Chains A and B, each alone.
Chain A
Amino acid sequence: MVRITPTVVERTNKQWTVALGGPGRDEAIEDLRALLIRGLRSALSRQSGVSDAAIEDFTQDALIKILDNLDSFRGESRFTTWSQKIAVRVAFTELRRKEWRNVSLQDITDRYDTAGPEPREMTDSQPSPEDMATRQVMFDTVRRLIYEELTERQREAIVTVMLGGMPLEEAARRMDTNRNALYKLLHDARKKLKKRLISEGLSAQDVLAAFGGR
């Protein structure tokens, strides 16, 4: 399908903010809409099932946010880049919500047990008996540290986001928090684990050697 892309008047940051708040508002909004649609088409080209109508909806929602937040634009990037950042955020929030709408936290946490006695060994190679014993000690230690050091909520977050692959934003929504706070929760969990691994005398080299390649 051939799309006709309208020509958009170039504006400086100041011209954009003045136009969007003044008499030239309608024309500026239409110009911004055209730019955002063009950008989103490219940004979402790798996402499956995103229709033109969806892109127009994302753009409309983004325009409302942009106009509501004009005062927070500090001019540290071009106005169009800043606006596009908001449009991308709006689009991904909705796409993630849609993609994960049928998956609950419990669906994911039920797949993993972070409190059981011992991990199962994978037989992907044939290590020596000494290596097997070292690995098993390491597995037991790491598993114990995860259980001892982390709160239930931190374990739930690790399982959901790091192992289950749920986007932070979606996991945060289900955990009644926000994406930033959930990142901080996971960051604290990783810091605690790192500290304990080190205090148990396990160097990064030891642990990674026992766990093998990525």
Chain B
Amino acid sequence: MAMLDRQELNKIVRAALETSDDELGCEDCLDQVDSFVETELAGLDAAAAMPLIHNHLQKCGDCREEFEALLAAVRAMENSNGNNILDAVRRFWRGGRNGS
């Protein structure tokens, strides 16, 4: 068993110092990540529109991996079906969501 070295302590300390009080959990992220993906694909600033989701994706490797995969998947469906994602995103914003 090895004692924690500098790099390992560094990783823990940095993660602690970057912690916010109001971080979302994985369930909240999962709940909204499809809207985040569509906002991103519409060329809008998803991070600014949904900052808590963006923050969670920065900190959670599992959710980030699934977000990136979903982005690729929706892009592939989009390319093959020729749907206009902007229409969907406009509907989302007209619905009055403020993103967080």
Chain A positions near chain B (C-beta within 8 angstroms): 5, 8, 10, 35, 38-45, 76-78, 80-82, 84-85, 87-89, 91-92, 96, 110-114, 116-122, 135, 139, 142-143, 146, 158, 161-163, 167-169, 179-180, 183-184, 187, 190-191, 193-194, 197, 204, 207-208, 211-212, 214
Chain B positions near chain A (C-beta within 8 angstroms): 1-17, 19, 21, 23, 25-27, 30, 32-35, 37-38, 60-62, 65-66, 69-70, 72-77, 80-81, 83, 85, 88, 92, 95, 97
Known: A80-B77, A119-B6, A168-B60. A42 touches B72 (CB 8 A): yes
B5 touching A92 by the CB < 8 A rule? no
Tell me the smallest distance from the CB of B16 to a CB of chain A, in Å.
4
Residues of B within 8 A of A110 (CB): 1
A92 touching B62 by the CB < 8 A rule? yes
* Complex alpha-carbon distance, A112 and B75, angstroms: 41
* Complex alpha-carbon distance, A179 and B1, angstroms: 27
A35 touching B17 by the CB < 8 A rule? no
B72 touching A211 by the CB < 8 A rule? no
Tell me the smallest distance from the CB of B84 to a CB of chain A, in Å.
10
* Complex alpha-carbon distance, A185 and B52, angstroms: 18
Residues of B within 8 A of A5 (CB): 80
A39 touching B73 by the CB < 8 A rule? yes
B95 touching A76 by the CB < 8 A rule? yes
Known: A190-B16, A194-B16. 13 other contacts (CB 8 A): A43-B72, A76-B92, A78-B38, A78-B88, A84-B34, A85-B37, A118-B3, A168-B60, A187-B25, A191-B21, A207-B13, A208-B17, A214-B10
* Complex alpha-carbon distance, A163 and B1, angstroms: 14
* Complex alpha-carbon distance, A214 and B76, angstroms: 35
Known: A92-B62, A120-B3, A187-B23. A158 touches B72 (CB 8 A): no
The contact of A41 among B1, B14, B76, B85, by CB within 8 Å, is B76
Residues of B within 8 A of A142 (CB): 9, 12-13
Residues of B within 8 A of A167 (CB): 61-62, 65
* Complex alpha-carbon distance, A41 and B76, angstroms: 9
The contact of B14 among A135, A161, A214, by CB within 8 Å, is A214
Nearest-CB residue, chain A, relative to B36: A77
* Complex alpha-carbon distance, A208 and B6, angstroms: 11
* Complex alpha-carbon distance, A107 and B14, angstroms: 25
A45 touching B38 by the CB < 8 A rule? no
B73 touching A119 by the CB < 8 A rule? no
